[in-house]
Amino acid sequence: MNAPATLTYREALKLAIRAAIERDPRVFLMGEDVARYGGCYAVTKGLAAELGEERIRDTPLSESAFVGAGIGAALAGMRPIVEIMTVNFSLLALDQIVNTAATLPHMSGGQFAVPIVIRMATGAGRQLAAQHSHSLEGWYAHVPGLRVLAPATIEDARYMLAAALADPNPVLIFEHVMLYNANGELDPAVTAVDIEKAKIRRAGRDVTLVTYGGSLPKTLAAAETLAAEGIEAEVLDLRVLRPLDWDTLAASVARTHRCVVVDEGWKTGSLAAEISAGLVERVFFELDQPIARVCSAEVPIPYAAHMEQAALPQPEAIVAAARALVRPA
């Protein structure tokens, strides 16, 4: 197969899950409606028929129990992939993720590893209102012991899972709901990705736009608009939200001397706040302007389309923030 294959983000995730389960008898996937229904976002559609309901396992609506069961299965030698339908429901399993998965290796003095992968949808944009639109990956990125991934491209959707399963520590994968239908090509020469480094998705000399996940397409669109104005923006896709790749972040900002952080989380106490503070600690004297942030408005995400869109980071706001840094009034 030499020609690049075109597929959706959803299909890329599914390929990853199938490959992982076929490769390793210890790998299985469980979650709500993953088997017979085919997954809330249809990621696992058809997989149960192919791989069996032992390996693609429907659970009751008991987030705490099935996430905890995943942790226990990992302790017993399995390599579980637990799908939580959305980050919103992960709050019902917060105790297991934060108090158990993240603490056990350290608390046991290194006696027990928790090699579990927990996938969940995140983000807003589908008019699902406040209880189905949270972007709480920044909360999880606060917690030592967890690795937090945000695949924003077809390639990362396809290959991050294998790397996550190879990690002896708990890994959380956040899939933005607006990305599932995204189309793209897979380079047949690429068969693996790292889960360590951020990636420059677009090179530019004037300003660094730091983002991740569902905000990457918006940020790339903003960079195109800026380019038409003669502003060359560098777009940095974090990919890994914990631990952050400070080397790539600092190097980029040291080149461009300006930085806008785009994060669908709320601004207060956000990942964007951490990135801003971390850059100030590292490259303060490289900065020509204060770091700017484009985040969600501090409201529960509303239902009505115009209000929802008004609450979320938009390309226009990213453009305006970058322009203000590069061409201050």
| Contacting residues toward other proteins, per CB under 8 A | 26, 28, 54, 59-60, 62, 64-78, 80, 95-96, 99-100, 104-113, 115, 144-145, 147, 168-169
Q: Report the candidate in 161, 233, 168, 242 with the shortest Cα–Cα distance to residue 198.
A: 242
Tokens of 302: 């509303």
Rounded Cα distance, 17 and 264, in Å = 27
Check: CB of residue 86 under 8 Å from CB of residue 121. Answer: yes
The neighbour count for residue 325, using CB atoms within 10 Å, is 22
- Gyration radius from the chain CA atoms: 20
Choose the catalytic residue: 11, 32, 63, 155: 63
Q: How far is the CB of 114 from other proteins (least distance, A)?
A: 9
C-beta closer to other proteins: residue 40 or 94: 94
Q: Are strands 240-242 and 117-122 parallel, antiparallel or unpaired?
A: unpaired
Q: How far is the CB of 152 from other proteins (least distance, A)?
A: 23
Q: How far is the CB of 104 from other proteins (least distance, A)?
A: 7
C-beta closer to other proteins: residue 62 or 181: 62
Rounded Cα distance, 192 and 20, in Å = 12
Tokens of 38: 């085919």
The DSSP element (H or E) to which 233 belongs, if any, is strand 233-237
Q: How far is the CB of 142 from other proteins (least distance, A)?
A: 13
Is 316 a residue of the active site? no
Rounded Cα distance, 233 and 1, in Å = 35
Q: How far is the CB of 99 from other proteins (least distance, A)?
A: 5
Helices (H), 194-267: 215-228, 246-256
The position carrying tokens 């942790």 is 71
Choose the catalytic residue: 11, 132, 175, 274: 132
The position carrying tokens 């389309």 is 305
Q: How far is the CB of 31 from other proteins (least distance, A)?
A: 13
Is 257 a residue of the active site? no
C-beta closer to other proteins: residue 146 or 283: 146
C-beta closer to other proteins: residue 55 or 258: 55
Rounded Cα distance, 276 and 266, in Å = 14
Check: CB of residue 234 under 8 Å from CB of residue 251. Answer: no
C-beta closer to other proteins: residue 176 or 239: 239
C-beta closer to other proteins: residue 6 or 99: 99
Which residues are annotated as catalytic? Answer: 63, 132
